[in-house]
Amino acid sequence: MKIYGLLMTAAMLAGGTCPAARAALTAGGIGALDGTGSLRDAFSNVETIALRQQVNNSAASDEMIRFKFTVYNPAGGAVFRHEGNSTRGVPGNSNSQVALPISRFYGVPGVYRFTGEAALGTDAPVVQTTQFSISSPNINLIYPPYGARDLTDKPLTFRWVASGASSYKITVSASIGLYDPLQTGTAASGMFTYPENPSQDREKLVPDKVYYWKVEGLDETGAKISESSVYNFSLKSQASSQSRNVAVTALDLTDQKADFKNPLHFRAVVQNTGGTNEASIEIKMSLSGVPAQDSPKHIGMFNAGEQREIPFTAFMPTGQDQGLAVACVDIFDDNIPDNCKTKLIAKDTGSAVAPSEEEDRKLSYQEIWDEVLKRLGPEAAKALEGYTFDSIDCPDCSAGELNDLMLALINGEASLTGAAVLETSPTGSALTAPVAGTVEAEPEEKNELLADLMPQDRQKQDEWSGYTGAVKAEAPVSYIVKSAKEWEKAWKLISTEEPPEVDFEDKMVVGIVAGSGSRADTVRILSSRRKGDVVIFDYYITQSSAETYFVPYIFKVVEKVYGAVEFLRIDVGGK
């Protein structure tokens, strides 16, 4: 004790003091919070956000802990800065928080980065970073389209394309103001099926009456953040005396044997089993997906109860030992499943393949697609008419299971129910006029790139999307790129890097850049379909609630088209 006291006295006489622990900051966490104080990583642009950073101080300090917050947009540009918040340099945890409307810094949908810096004294600041996504809430009604009449769907499924909301509320009413609704429901995605047998009689939908519906977007607290327009529709009267039904009742090969080197002759039997006379009926036939030579055939007037035999001549595609013959009447009546008839043809037999052979055979793409179309149901099949897709596969199926499923569809042992056509199959009545401004290549223009949202290995991509300010057109602009030179010019609109390699021998690139007048949030190419000699690429645009300088784009590699190409915007209410 004496030695300790002497040392303390000596130190004090020398003018010294006890050494104090040096304060130092360490990271304690960073995050973005919603209005309820919950951490989130996804927001909509109509919400309020709280930016918070926490640090830990190891010892007391007379200086203040200073905070600096910065938010960066998807392109990496700083869109919000805040300095001035500070806390006392006491030991333990310290934090700073700034709350503000997202609209203060929002420009385009995408992933934003929040960086917080905390500094004490002259030490290097503690830097922490997190990110969160922001979307612009929007809702585009898809089905039933505006003004749809005489719907026959059972059950009726409402569909919409939307973004930026945590859930969606649908309201169906018999009044245009949606008062006293017949049915309300919530959904996590863009689909709601109306009950076929609701608990109250007043909720049942009756034929020939006009109904109204709309969808609202809700945030996590259940508050409304967006809403759609109000659409109307009606159901078709199902009076049996006026039923419509034209059926293909038989499809036979009339040759003694199927010699695939020569044309094959078929006989399709068509009967009007409904209660109404029909006019201008088309009958189509294909063999292994290839239309017959004389398809389609026409029936001018087809009376109720009448039956016709229609001959067809077709060739089996080279290299095939068997194929599926399909005959269909081109009509959407009250009983879609009997509008088509199929027959499996094997080489040198002149008859259908035996069941044991049928189970093992491999179906072609067209055979699969024809069966899917035939069995989806009237409205879904009508919506998908004329579409083609890259492939039909079953990732979780073992070998042969997809084939077995399609064979079961063909044989009538399986059926498809509750089919949805959201996003990949808009209804025909929703189609609008073609977009003006289709160009082969964009003129040279100053490049103003907002974001490059591409994976690292972009040489293996077949689709690129993001946002650009390099196109000044008011209306959407479409692109057809068939050479490397054109591709290089188009690529400059969206990136300063070298363009990815594309095999323009067999492929081409199609693209859409939303116009500045579209107030676009996203643009997507749905699918391609052939209409006569023209290949049509359908696309839709979801809209932002605010105008932005940058517009979304999409470019996609597709099979080369040798002929006319058109682009068609299909979102209802789109310009």
Can you read off the two tokens belonging to residue 278?
A: 């029909």
Q: Is residue 470 predicted with pLDDT exceeding 90? A: no
- Do residues 138 and 545 make contact, with C-beta atoms less than 8 angstroms apart? yes
Separation CA 104–CA 51 (nearest Å):
13
Decide: residue 109, CB within 10 A, 0-12 exposed, 13-18 middle, 19+ buried.
Answer: buried
Q: Is residue 548 predicted with pLDDT exceeding 50? A: yes
H-run or E-run covering 380: helix 378-384
Calculate helix-pair angle for 365-376, 401-411, nearest 10 degrees.
Answer: 50
Q: What is the pLDDT of residue 4?
A: 42
- Backbone φ/ψ region at 500: left (φ over 0), alpha (ψ -120 to 50), beta: beta
Determine how β-strand 167-173 pairs with β-strand 157-163. unpaired
Of 119-128, 306-315, 351-360, 507-516, minimum mean pLDDT range: 351-360
| Domain residue ranges in the chain | 25-135, 138-235, 244-411, 431-569
Separation CA 523–CA 550 (nearest Å):
13
Separation CA 159–CA 504 (nearest Å):
37
Q: Which CATH architecture has domain 25-135?
A: Sandwich (2.60)
pLDDT in tens, 159-213: 888 777 888 999 999 988 888 899 999 998 888 999 988 888 889 998 889 999 9
**Helix, strand, or coil here: 535?**
strand
347 versus 295: which is more confidently predicted? 295
SS3 letters across 299-356: EEEECCCCEEEEEEEECCCCCCCEEEEEEEECCCCCCHHHHEEEEEEECCCCCCCCHH
What φ, ψ does residue 16 adopt, rounded to 5°? Answer: -95, 170
- Do residues 468 and 453 make contact, with C-beta atoms less than 8 angstroms apart? no
Handedness of CA 56, 58, 64, 67 (dihedral sign): negative
pLDDT in tens, 485-509: 888 888 887 777 788 888 888 899 9
Q: What is the pLDDT of residue 400?
A: 53
Of 27-31, 92-96, 417-421, minimum mean pLDDT range: 417-421
270 versus 570: which is more confidently predicted? 270
- The segment with the largest mean pLDDT, out of 83-92, 330-339, 418-427, 476-485, is 476-485
Whether 25-135 and 244-411 share one fold: the answer is yes
Q: What is the mean pLDDT of residues 555-573?
A: 81
Q: What is the pLDDT of residue 242?
A: 58
Q: What is the pLDDT of residue 33?
A: 92
Can you read off the two tokens belonging to residue 227?
A: 């809403």
Q: Is residue 381 predicted with pLDDT exceeding 60? A: no
- Do residues 415 and 375 make contact, with C-beta atoms less than 8 angstroms apart? yes
Q: What is the pLDDT of residue 259?
A: 74
Q: Is residue 475 predicted with pLDDT exceeding 70? A: yes
Q: What is the pLDDT of residue 51?
A: 94
- Do residues 256 and 350 make contact, with C-beta atoms less than 8 angstroms apart? yes
Share of residues in the chain with pLDDT > 70 (%): 72
Q: Is residue 216 predicted with pLDDT exceeding 60? A: yes
Q: What is the pLDDT of residue 402?
A: 56
561 versus 438: which is more confidently predicted? 561
Q: What is the pLDDT of residue 377?
A: 52
Q: Is residue 1 predicted with pLDDT exceeding 60? A: no
546 versus 22: which is more confidently predicted? 22
Query: If you average pLDDT over every residue of the chain, what do you get?
Result: 75
Q: Is residue 24 predicted with pLDDT exceeding 90? A: no
Name residues whose C-beta falls within 8 Å of residue 314's C-beta, 6 or more positions apart in sequence. 263, 264, 266, 285, 286, 287, 290, 291, 292, 293, 295, 325
Residue type, 541: I
Of 41-50, 446-455, 549-558, minimum mean pLDDT range: 446-455
What φ, ψ does residue 240 adopt, rounded to 5°? Answer: -65, -30
**DSSP summary character for residue 532:** T
Can you point out the beta strands (E) in 315-392? 322-329, 340-346, 387-388
Separation CA 205–CA 253 (nearest Å):
45
Q: What is the pLDDT of residue 552?
A: 81
Q: What is the pLDDT of residue 170?
A: 95
Q: What is the mean pLDDT of residues 479-486?
A: 90
H-run or E-run covering 480: strand 477-481
Residue with the two structure tokens 């310290």: 94
DSSP letter string, 184-235: EEEESSSEEEPPSS-SSGGGS--BT--EEEEEEEE-TTS-EEEE---EEEEE
274 band by pLDDT with thresholds 50, 70 and 90: confident
Q: What is the mean pLDDT of residues 297-301?
A: 85
Q: What is the mean pLDDT of residues 328-334?
A: 78
Can you read off the two tokens belonging to residue 339?
A: 């509008």
Of 40-49, 153-162, 306-315, 407-416, minimum mean pLDDT range: 407-416
Cα 16 to Cα 7, 59, 62: the distances in Å are 11, 21, 19
Name residues whose C-beta falls within 8 Å of residue 239's C-beta, 6 or more positions apart in sequence. none
- Backbone φ/ψ region at 37: left (φ over 0), alpha (ψ -120 to 50), beta: left
Separation CA 31–CA 533 (nearest Å):
55
- The segment with the largest mean pLDDT, out of 206-210, 342-346, 422-426, is 206-210
What φ, ψ does residue 251 adopt, rounded to 5°? Answer: -145, 115
Give the HSE-up count for residue 468: Cα atoms under 13 Å, Cβ half-sphere: 28
Share of residues in the chain with pLDDT > 90 (%): 15
Determine how β-strand 534-543 pairs with β-strand 564-569. parallel
Q: What is the dihedral of CA 34, 39, 44, 48, to 10 degrees?
A: 20
Can you read off the two tokens belonging to residue 503?
A: 């095999």
Q: What CATH number was assigned to the domain covering residues 138-235?
A: 2.60.40.10
561 versus 430: which is more confidently predicted? 561
Q: Is residue 374 predicted with pLDDT exceeding 70? A: no
Separation CA 156–CA 9 (nearest Å):
93
Cα 14 to Cα 8, 17, 20, 289: the distances in Å are 10, 9, 17, 102
Give the HSE-up count for residue 44: Cα atoms under 13 Å, Cβ half-sphere: 23
Q: Which CATH number fits domain 244-411: 3.40.640.10, 3.90.1150.10, 3.20.20.70, 2.60.40.10?
A: 2.60.40.10
Q: Is residue 415 predicted with pLDDT exceeding 60? A: no
Of 54-68, 269-283, 428-442, minimum mean pLDDT range: 428-442
Q: Is residue 440 predicted with pLDDT exceeding 50? A: no
- Backbone φ/ψ region at 178: left (φ over 0), alpha (ψ -120 to 50), beta: left
What φ, ψ does residue 384 adopt, rounded to 5°? Answer: -95, 0
* Closest alpha carbon to 428 in 22, 143, 12, 61: 143
